[in-house]
Amino acid sequence: MPEPRPASETVILTAEQMSRTITRIAHEILEKNPGSEKLAVVGIHTRGAFLGARIHKLLCEVGGRDYAAGNLDISFYRDDVAARGAVGVIPSTPQPVVKDTDLPFTIDGARVVLVDDVLYTGRTIRAAIDALFDYGRPATVQLAVLVDRGHRELPIRPDYVGKNLPTASRERISVRVDECDGVDEVVLVRSKEA
């Protein structure tokens, strides 16, 4: 028996809507990169990697080609590495477990589509671009996200957006994917103290 959904959560995308959105993004990517053999999908750990794998599968099916794919972990490129003992430094968020970066193709000259679940401040994408460039010099880097929730702190914009969702900073977007959460859905979570 699944537990009843907490009152603080609102479903933004159901499993079916999520699947349709991902399909649409895949089609848009093919449309914008016609006939390109150099297309490569790179998912950002953790959930971006699962979404990236799904988009990659669709691209190969629809495009009739075997496109390159990979995953990127940005832990070593974050801009909030804790400053221990330093005066006036805000305690940083816990550092996530580092996952493997796996880019089994030549980055040089590739048309890379970065995939992430939620676009927020843009700092993750900044880190991902930095990481990518340590592996080579891509021809282009494009960005696909399932949800754009606004509040950008850097001049970064997505090329493919599943859903634009203006949010308050105290709200949180939780993207859940079957591969690691056992369910496909996007929910808006209001924080309790708000």
Could you list the residues that contact other proteins (CB under 8 A)? Answer: 73, 75-78, 80-82, 84-85, 91-102, 117-118, 120-124, 127, 130-131, 134-136, 172-174
- Identity of the residue, 131 or 141, whose beta carbon is nearer to other proteins in the bound complex: 131
- Identity of the residue, 28 or 130, whose beta carbon is nearer to other proteins in the bound complex: 130
The least distance separating other proteins from the CB of residue 131, rounded to whole angstroms, comes to 8
Task: Please give the Cα distance from 168 to 119 (Å, whole number).
Answer: 14
Q: Please tell me what DSSP assigns to residue 49.
A: H
Task: Please give the Cα distance from 43 to 53 (Å, whole number).
Answer: 7
Task: Please give the Cα distance from 16 to 31 (Å, whole number).
Answer: 23
The least distance separating other proteins from the CB of residue 108, rounded to whole angstroms, comes to 10
Torsion-angle region of 55 (φ positive above 0: left; ψ -120 to 50: alpha; else: beta): alpha
- Angstrom CA distances, 148 to 30, 64, 84, 87, 166, stand at 21, 29, 32, 34, 8
Task: Please give the Cα distance from 182 to 193 (Å, whole number).
Answer: 28
The least distance separating other proteins from the CB of residue 47, rounded to whole angstroms, comes to 9
How far from chain centre, in Å, is Cα 93?
Answer: 19
- Identity of the residue, 65 or 181, whose beta carbon is nearer to other proteins in the bound complex: 181
- Identity of the residue, 11 or 62, whose beta carbon is nearer to other proteins in the bound complex: 11
- Identity of the residue, 14 or 122, whose beta carbon is nearer to other proteins in the bound complex: 122
The least distance separating other proteins from the CB of residue 136, rounded to whole angstroms, comes to 8
Task: Please give the Cα distance from 145 to 113 (Å, whole number).
Answer: 10
The least distance separating other proteins from the CB of residue 182, rounded to whole angstroms, comes to 15
